[in-house]
Structure 1
Amino acid sequence: MDSQIQTIHQQLVDKEITCTALVQSKLDALKQNTNNTVNALLGEKALELAAKVDAKIANGESIGLLEGIPFGIKDVYMVQGTITTASSNLLKNYKSAYTATAIQKLLDAGAIPLVKENCDSFGHGSSSENTIFGAVKNANNPDLVGGGSSGGSAVNVAKDYTVFSIGGDTGGSIRQPAGYNNVYGLKPTYGRISRYGLMAYASSTDCVGPIAKSLEDIRIVLNAMSGKDVKDQTTYASAEIDKDAISTSEDIKTIGYFKNFIESEAIDAEVKADFLATIEKIKAKGIEVKALDFFESNTLVSTYYTLAMAETASNLSRLDGTNYGSRIEAENLKETYSVTRSENFSEETKRRIVGGNQVLSQGFSDEIYLKSLGLRDQISENFEKDFNEVDIILSPVTPSTPPKIGDSLKDPLAMYLSDAYTVGFSLGQLPTLTVPQGTSTGLQITAAKNNDELVLKFANFLKDTI
């Protein structure tokens, strides 16, 4: 698909459409949607901003490429003056006092926020069922999950309710729902985009990223949000990715794939067959393909969830109803804290807090938590070795197709294992993009750290190859 951003921009400039009419049509569609993607509409503010864009055009003033483009925001980002719930009962009435850096950059570019989008509570889930707003329904089949945790964001893009959406990816939470709904979803290199104003899940792997229907829209939005931020010390200055720079893939000579992912008993036969067929098409284009050794899926999942649970237990310790959230009074302060958290957190969030506190506790931290930190270092070293041999690593996004709504809630372990092919790249803090090609849930393209441009280059190559 061609860039929707470019198309709408030209229609606005040529006065074929008005920004107000465009925004109103999107708001109407969001109001009527039956996929449970909406936590809150930002209609009043959106229409106010749209009127300003129309006034500029009427006055003969030029507008920027993102100016007037409607977008969605996963409901874990602060947007000043809006309710930011994280799809949690604890924060159902919490009003943001400031705006996240990534969102502010989009607002500064003139993009128009339409909606705070449904997601797994605090990002805890892989299906967008752990939410007080009801399960997000898949864009292609409403009986199936929308994926998670950025399910509402991916479905809104797939259904054209938003031109693009901003999700959050900790262990696959942009890439997996993008795959489930056949759209593009990017987890950039860790630190390329500021996390300031994103509710922390696991701080060492949390990433801000775009979801869109075209690769060009991913590039445009990525450029707009990237850059160093004094409010996030993990950020770094990055060069803008030029459109022409990703139009050729001549410098990509070798790709790799993890053979244990493809030989796993957990992978669906159809996903495996489609992936191997894609590999053959790439070989036919003269690119060398190497089968690589990697850690077993169970090791990746257990390492990721040990660290993620530890970090979420620490990050959510501040939410006790004192400074944030819906406080439930009890007989004494200790009981108040306990009841507030027990009644307001989802079962999945409580499961992750309890697990995190256990692996950090005396007697367990050396054996489990520190061991996981060591494994994360080994995983990063493995990636460094691999990227000395290959330019790109290609993998399925998920081992299987989306489950039916309700199934993941019955089997949390199966939900965790659905992240088997995404969490390793999160632990390595690598740029990884889901493309809606190659298998029924897409393909995942990964490059070495800071090589986001190379990921987009290969994605561009795949558009015409498979």
Structure 2
Amino acid sequence: MDSKIKEIHQQLVSKQITCTALVQEKLDLLKQNTYNSVNSLLDTLALELAAKVDAKITNGETIGLLEGIPFGIKDVYMVQGTYTTASSDLLKNYKSPYTATAIQKLLDAGAIPLVKENCDSFGHGSSSENTIFGAVKNAVNPELVGGGSSGGSAVNVALDYTVFSIGGDTGGSIRQPAGYNHIYGLKPTYGRISRYGLMAYASSTDCVGPLAKSIEDIRIVLNVMSGKDPKDQTSTTSEEITEEGIAASSIKTVGYFKNFIESEAIDAQIKADFLAAIEKIKAKGIAVKELDFFKSDILVSTYYTLAMAETASNLSRLDGTNYGNRIEGDNLIDTYAVTRSENFSEETKRRIVGGNQVLSQGFSDEIYLKGLALRDQISENFSKDFEEVDVILSPVTPAAPPKIGDSLKDPLAMYLSDAYTVGFSLGQLPTLTVPQGTTTGLQITAAKNNDELVMQFANFLKDTL
């Protein structure tokens, strides 16, 4: 099974390459890159860790599979002693006092962090243009957006600047940029990986996940990061996913949402390509079933109602008092106001204002509680669907990536680009983007805790499409 991690591991063990040379090569690429994918380099740390790996190999010691493998980190994860800016003015000088659990597990396995990666500020966006470091450029066509909010992470993987990267997915922020840049991106089952040390956007749907160029690399990294964490009460225990498990073929029935494909919003070419993929799947003897689901505009409005409410609550701590770029006003209240007004982006302010609106007296019953009820209905709908089908297949986005600048002119269009990803986030389901089928890939979803199944079907599609 294809795996860049295994390939590099073998080269290190057989002394075809040194870890120091490998890391230096990747750092040089990151320094020279013109895609705005880098917020800060971790070059000193990376080279120190690489030297230790080389010393172990020279001494004849055994190294682990991830030991010496260079990776990138979306700039919303704490890594002790490094800048963690969330691509924002407010935190542009903030240094992490601790390390996120998921990242620590990778460090413990010997993986080498190279870079904090550009993203939409606080994860607020679907294009990675909402950032103080400049819009991330698409790896396939630099005139287009890199996707968001994990755009820098996706672009670095696509261009081989990192072997894999760790993104964050709240409503599609791993899956959509993975599709835009023709790589794999996984949003695991909610809770499979600890969120401790990830800056919270919407706590009920935030997920830690990997981006890579192969399914096997996704599997390897997922296994290392997974597990119960006493620091995150929403985290769960999970079984290890084996290479044999995802090489098997147990899927007999695939479903797809008819209203996604019949929507007026879908690009004609993406629709045609999706239906062609369905026919190829049928030709392999797999049953395909049309499913009814909530309209995409209901999914988007439900998701953004809840996500904005949660982000308003989560970002209320950022007032310049304990951390962040404080701007003094005439009094304490004025200091809070000017600090937040000057340091938050327009998109972040839009989401905070929207969130406070739906939580305010007179609106919370009519809007927020209705959103919670709809989320429950969406989850129930999924439970019924997975009684009939093994996995659900869908386009990742209704359209190809827009040109840089277009999304900033039309925030509503940006929200609607998430139409096919947010429903699976509300259901807290495992969903994997694969770079086959349409110009922005396909999305495979399974029932909760069936992360193995989405990778298994991804292997099938790799050989089928």
Q: Establish whether TM, by shorter chain, passes 0.5.
A: yes
* Secondary structure in 1 matching 2:464: coil
2:82 matched to 1:79?
A: no
- 1:5 counterpart letter in structure 2: I
The corresponding residue for 2:356 is 357
Q: Partners in 2 of 1:150 and 1:331 — Cα distance?
A: 38
Q: Partners in 2 of 1:264 and 1:334 — Cα distance?
A: 47
Aligned length: 465
* Secondary structure in 2 matching 1:143: coil
**Cα-to-partner distance string for 1:123-145 (whole Å, 9 max, x where unaligned):** 00000000000000000111100
* Secondary structure in 2 matching 1:334: helix
Q: Partners in 2 of 1:207 and 1:172 — Cα distance?
A: 10
Q: Partners in 1 of 2:236 and 2:172 — Cα distance?
A: 22
Q: Partners in 1 of 2:86 and 2:417 — Cα distance?
A: 22
User: What aligned pairs does 1:51-450 form with structure 2 within 5 A after superposition?
Assistant: 51-249=51-249, 251-450=250-449
Instruction: Decide which moves more: 1-10 or 70-79.
Output: 1-10
Q: Partners in 2 of 1:15 and 1:276 — Cα distance?
A: 47
The corresponding residue for 1:23 is 23
TM-score in terms of structure 1 length: 1.00
- 1:32 counterpart letter in structure 2: Q
- 1:306 counterpart letter in structure 2: T
- 1:281 counterpart letter in structure 2: K
Percent of aligned pairs with the same amino acid: 86
- 2:307 counterpart letter in structure 1: A
**Cα-to-partner distance string for 1:145-181 (whole Å, 9 max, x where unaligned):** 0000000000000000000000000000000000000
* Secondary structure in 2 matching 1:464: helix
Deviation at 1:239, TM superposition (A): 0.6
Deviation at 1:223, TM superposition (A): 0.3
Q: Partners in 1 of 2:438 and 2:417 — Cα distance?
A: 15
* Secondary structure in 2 matching 1:311: helix
Q: Partners in 2 of 1:396 and 1:262 — Cα distance?
A: 8
Q: Partners in 1 of 2:149 and 2:369 — Cα distance?
A: 27
Deviation at 1:116, TM superposition (A): 0.1
Instruction: Decide which moves more: 308-317 or 240-249.
Output: 240-249
Deviation at 1:2, TM superposition (A): 1.9
Deviation at 1:248, TM superposition (A): 1.3
Gaps of at least 5 residues in structure 1 are none
Q: Partners in 2 of 1:408 and 1:70 — Cα distance?
A: 32
Q: Partners in 2 of 1:311 and 1:179 — Cα distance?
A: 26
- 1:227 counterpart letter in structure 2: G
- 2:312 counterpart letter in structure 1: A
Q: Partners in 1 of 2:165 and 2:179 — Cα distance?
A: 15
- 2:349 counterpart letter in structure 1: K
- 2:360 counterpart letter in structure 1: S
Q: Partners in 2 of 1:437 and 1:212 — Cα distance?
A: 14
Deviation at 1:37, TM superposition (A): 0.3
Q: Partners in 2 of 1:210 and 1:431 — Cα distance?
A: 12
Deviation at 1:374, TM superposition (A): 0.2
Q: Partners in 2 of 1:235 and 1:337 — Cα distance?
A: 33
* Secondary structure in 2 matching 1:55: helix
Q: Partners in 1 of 2:248 and 2:78 — Cα distance?
A: 38
* Secondary structure in 2 matching 1:310: helix
The corresponding residue for 1:456 is 455
- 1:202 counterpart letter in structure 2: A
- The answer to whether the 8 Å contact 1:248/1:461 transfers is no
* Secondary structure in 2 matching 1:426: helix
Q: Partners in 2 of 1:359 and 1:69 — Cα distance?
A: 45
Q: Partners in 1 of 2:396 and 2:335 — Cα distance?
A: 42
Q: Partners in 1 of 2:281 and 2:109 — Cα distance?
A: 38
Task: Give me the CA root mean square deviation.
Answer: 0.5
**Cα-to-partner distance string for 1:233-285 (whole Å, 9 max, x where unaligned):** 01111010000111111x21100000000000100010000000000000000
Q: Partners in 1 of 2:367 and 2:237 — Cα distance?
A: 35
- 1:447 counterpart letter in structure 2: A
- The answer to whether the 8 Å contact 1:169/1:208 transfers is yes
Q: Partners in 2 of 1:252 and 1:177 — Cα distance?
A: 27
Q: Partners in 2 of 1:464 and 1:210 — Cα distance?
A: 22
**Cα-to-partner distance string for 1:412-432 (whole Å, 9 max, x where unaligned):** 000000000000000000000
- 1:81 counterpart letter in structure 2: G
